[in-house]
Amino acid sequence: MKRVHNFSAGPATLPLEVLEKAQKELVEYKGKGQSLMEMSHRSAEYTEIDQQAKARLSSLLGLGDDFEVMFLQGGASSQFMMAPYNFLRENETADYIDTGRWSDKAITEAKKFGYVHVPYSSSEGNYDRVPKNGELKFSSNPVYVHFTSNNTVAGTQFPTEPETNGVPLVCDASSDFLSRPIDVDKYGIIYAGAQKNVGPAGVTIVIVRKDLLEKAKTEGVPTILRYKTHTGKIFNTPPTFNVYMVNLVLDWIEQKGGLSYFESFSQKKASLLYGEIDKDDFYRGAVEKESRSLMNATYRLPSEELEQKFLSEAAENGLVALKGHRSVGGIRASMYNAMPMESVEALVSFMQEFRDKNG
């Protein structure tokens, strides 16, 4: 078996142990004579998986009894619409911090439901930084403050939650979900597409604070798009196998040591790679150092021709999916939880050899 060093921004690399366990259980799940994918989502087997995954998420994040956890579909992009549909009324304002492609898309959707105020935008700098708290100019009475905690395209990340003076945060956490501890008391909603840190594409994790949920709209909101529809029950058929995979990954995260372990692990991987980028001018970081992401390192080479050569030779050496997003170009190395240190070490070694030959 040959496994490449997969630096994809998503769908991303999964823990080998999880893949191997899923492989063993794929055809017949726990002696039931059928695959989990063939079982009813109302079965005892799937109900156990659903409840176990939600309990593990609550434990890892320290949610207690204050939040509802849901497994929905439609990716984080569906939540760009669903969050304001449930909580933003026509005469109300929500604040949206604009730090990248995905926050910009979230702003576009939110404007369909109410007023949107942008307390900060780094668009004029090609989204090369995130704001400091003193740069945020909030509206007078926002319903919530939305931010994208990690920006996969640009390669920036909030080092900690924005300070909102008690206004609940709504967070698109897709690309750094479960990579570090968070202050859950500051959040009203956390949503994340699973395909970065938590599982395969196809399931979206949505976490909503119960007291905020009581304020959600119902009139005019289609049944399936109401968060309340999905609390305490499985309303419609979920992506059962995807949730099963998420549950396996959550178990793996627990076994490794939880979010504190992965915070430290991410810092070590990023430190190694950024250290190589900063050695001289051959590799050039694409964003401000203070805003650099631990998940997605973006950088450039002296010319686009050299970048193409870099990508081609990297692939020949088993280092794949390093091409930057089509909107910005360059190189992007995504280092989510399941990315082993050996892969980052292999990339850094290749970068050194490439510089020696082409610098």
Determine if residue 47 is left, alpha or beta; phi over 0 gives left, psi from -120 to 50 gives alpha, anything else beta.
Answer: alpha
Query: What's the confidence (pLDDT) of residue 101?
Result: 94
Query: What's the confidence (pLDDT) of residue 189?
Result: 98
What mean pLDDT is predicted for residues 231-259? 96
Does 91 show up as a binding residue in the annotation?
A: no
259-303 residue pLDDT tens? 999 999 999 999 999 999 999 999 999 999 999 999 999 999 999
CATH architecture classification, 258-358: Alpha-Beta Complex (3.90)
Q: Which residues are catalytic?
A: 102, 172, 196
Spell out the domain ranges in the chain: 16-256, 258-358
Q: Contact 253/337 with Cβ under 8 angstroms? A: yes
Does 93 show up as a binding residue in the annotation?
A: no
Does 218 show up as a binding residue in the annotation?
A: no
Does 195 show up as a binding residue in the annotation?
A: yes
- Using CA atoms, how far residue 223 sits from 170, 219, 235, in Å, is 21, 10, 10
Query: What's the confidence (pLDDT) of residue 263?
Result: 98
Does 106 show up as a binding residue in the annotation?
A: no
293-336 residue pLDDT tens? 999 999 999 999 999 999 999 999 999 999 999 889 999 999 99
- pLDDT score of 230 more than 90: yes
- pLDDT score of 1 more than 80: no
- Please provide the average confidence, as pLDDT, over all residues in the chain: 96
Q: Contact 180/61 with Cβ under 8 angstroms? A: no
- pLDDT score of 23 more than 80: yes
d(CA 260, CA 179): 8
* Alpha helix ranges (H) inside the chain: 16-25, 44-61, 75-87, 101-110, 210-213, 240-256, 258-277, 304-316, 341-358
Q: Contact 196/295 with Cβ under 8 angstroms? A: yes
Main-chain phi, psi angles of 207, to 5 degrees: -125, 120
CATH architecture classification, 16-256: 3-Layer(aba) Sandwich (3.40)
Share of the chain above pLDDT 90, in %: 96
> Token digits for 50?
């659903």
**Could you tell me the pTM of the whole model?**
0.96
d(CA 158, CA 208): 21
Confidence bin at 359 (pLDDT 50/70/90)? confident
What mean pLDDT is predicted for residues 181-191? 97
Does 150 show up as a binding residue in the annotation?
A: no
Q: Contact 79/115 with Cβ under 8 angstroms? A: no
Query: What's the confidence (pLDDT) of residue 232?
Result: 87
Does 77 show up as a binding residue in the annotation?
A: yes
